[in-house]
Amino acid sequence: METTASAGAAPVKKRRRAPKTTVEALGNDVLNMIFTFLDLAHLIRCSAVCKSWSTVIRKLKLLQIQYHKQQQADFGSVSDVSNLSETSINRQMEQLAMDRQRLSLQEGPVDVFKWKAHSVMRLWSAESCKALDEYRLPDKAPLIDFDFDEGKVVGLVGTRVCIWRRVGTRDLFSSREGLFTRGLCMRYVDPHAVIGCEDGKVRVFDMYSRKISQIIKMHPGAVSSLSFTDEQLIVSGSSLGSISISDLSSDQHIATLETTGSSGIKTLCLSPSSYSVFAGSSAGYASCWDLRTLRRIWETRVSPNVLYSMHHLNNDKSTLVVGGIDGILRIVDQNNGRVISRCILDENRNISNRRPTDNNNKKGLLVERKKGIRLSEDERIDLMPNLPPIQCLAVGMQKVVTAHNDTDIRVWKFSN
């Protein structure tokens, strides 16, 4: 029954909603109390959230204390935690984090969060599955490749380069059309966007002058994949199967890496911590070279079909995640190329559905939570139903994000 205020009665006051309390409002004393209840793995994650949290954890020496407790529990060690330097602790924490990363990717249970793909460029949160930002493509031109950092998104759109600001005014800068012949791939490291083109050349776009500053011939065939090193070396793969290295600062060709067969290179991935470059081919081969000696370390056919994308966590020298046309997520050992796990989505097990709100409190797309399945070594993938291809992927701490054509986006979360 609906009630109304009668004549002379005091109007009913609407209750004001209390403002939401954000995590930034928590003082150091409260953070101290919370952090003391956490185990070592969660402390490592919290210390990477922001500088203020890292400062609190470091001041209380919580990492040292928890590390000491874990050593005692695992090995019965009674070493004096005060003798461990911060550098030593950080090094051991990093190794522990990488060990956990490998263990979770190799054998941990898998939850998969899945939602529909879209025809616009959006920035998503891998944690909440919320859309954080949306970027307009000029003149409905096709988005071929993109990259981003904290301040901007850089995209290869048709035959031009577009730059969107991520902070402040959402300005869009677009270079003139026809700036280069057909671009196939792009990598961005401020202040350069390097575009691999169909004519076998890479074109270096300077962000500040907003012009093509260099043109470097890399291959006789099309440049199909690109990667950068910290030493300003450009590593590129060709549709004809070659891998070439050139120096961006001098335009000099450094080396051509030895490859077998004529299958095209579809994807490249660099590991600065191990000075390695990994490549995936259209025939399903994954390969690894040492950039110091320019020698191939291993080559393995990890899939019977084309590989589209590969990636690993920074500082991880152990695992490499690979995806391709057959839709199977493969975990590969970086040291020898052996496939240590294969995962697919169990479409028949739907755990839950939800619609997270976006930054404007609008209901977002339906997010389905499903289970991932690890395939046994003797399971025949040729007898399995067709899966949506993994077009590209990115690896985070105990998670992998995959994009599948125009069908869906998935976040694979691995547990210990």
pLDDT in tens, 76-103: 555 555 555 666 767 777 788 888 899 9
Give me the pLDDT at residue 98, please: 87
Q: Is residue 172 over pLDDT 70?
A: yes
Decide if pLDDT at 402 tops 80.
yes
Q: What's residue 5's pLDDT?
A: 45
- pLDDT score for 355: 77
CA 185, CA 279: separation in Å to the nearest integer?
Answer: 15
What pLDDT was estimated at residue 9?
53
Encoded amino acid at 139, one letter: D
Q: Is the pLDDT of residue 21 over 70?
A: no
Top mean-pLDDT range of 16-20, 230-234, 320-324 = 320-324
Start-to-end CA distance of the chain, whole Å, equals 53
pTM for this entry? 0.81
Strand ranges, E, within 28-171? 110-116, 121-124, 131-135, 143-148, 152-157, 160-165
One-letter amino acid for residue 277 of the chain = V
Q: Looking at this protein, which amino acid is placed at residue 249? A: S
The percent of residues above 70 in pLDDT, for the chain, comes to 86
173 - beta bridge partners?
A: 163
Question: What was the pLDDT predicted at 44?
Answer: 75
243-300 pLDDT, tens digit per residue, is: 999 998 888 899 999 787 768 999 999 998 889 999 999 999 999 999 999 999 999 9
Q: Is the pLDDT reported for residue 348 higher than 70?
A: yes
Alpha helix ranges (H) inside 48-85? 51-59, 62-75
Q: What is the dihedral of CA 240, 243, 244, 248, to 10 degrees?
A: 110
CB 207 within 8 A of CB 173: no
- Residue 46: pLDDT over 70: yes
pLDDT at 158 over 50: yes
Predicted confidence at residue 245, as pLDDT, reads: 95
Checking if the pLDDT of 403 tops 90, the result is yes
Q: How many CB atoms lie within 10 A of CB 386?
A: 8
**Pairwise pLDDT comparison (319 vs 58), residue with the higher score:** 319
In angstroms, rounded to a whole number, what is the distance separating the alpha carbons of residues 402 and 133?
A: 18
State the sign of the Cα–Cα–Cα–Cα dihedral 314, 316, 317, 318.
negative
**The two three-digit tokens of residue 175, written as one number:** 């270079």
- Residue 18 in this model has a pLDDT that exceeds 60: no
Strand stretches in 276-391, DSSP E: 276-281, 285-290, 295-301, 307-311, 319-324, 329-333, 339-354, 367-374
Q: What's the mean pLDDT when you consider all of the chain?
A: 84
- Residue 40: pLDDT band with limits 50, 70, 90: confident
Say whether pLDDT at 164 is over 80. yes
Rounded (5°) CA angle 378-383-389:
100
pLDDT at residue 91, rounded to an integer: 75
Q: How confident is the model at residue 186 (pLDDT cuts 50, 70, 90)?
A: very high
Q: How far apart are CA 216 and CA 249, in angstroms?
A: 11
Give the angle 100-280-315 at the CA atoms, nearest 5°.
30
Rounded to whole angstroms, how far apart are CA atoms 246 and 236? 9
Q: Which of 415, 411, 325, 317 lies closest to 370 in space, CA to CA?
A: 411
Most confident of 82-91, 119-128, 245-254, 316-325: 316-325
What CA–CA distance (Å, rounded) separates 147 from 125?
A: 16
Span 213-227, average pLDDT: 94
Each residue of 382-394: pLDDT tens digit?
888 889 999 999 9
Query: Residue 404: pLDDT above 90?
Result: yes
Question: Residue 300's pLDDT is what?
Answer: 95
Of the two residues 121 and 289, the one the predictor is more confident about is 289
- Evaluate whether 210 touches 175 at the Cβ level (below 8 Å): yes
**Omega before residue 19 within 30° of 0, cis:** no
Q: Across residues 180-193, what is the average pLDDT?
A: 89
- 398 within 8 A of 411, measured Cβ to Cβ: no
pLDDT value at position 202?
95
Burial class for 325, CB neighbours closer than 10 Å (0-12, 13-18, 19+)? buried
d(CA 254, CA 365): 48
Give the list of residues 6+ apart from residue 148 with CB closer than 8 angstroms, or none: 123, 154, 166, 188
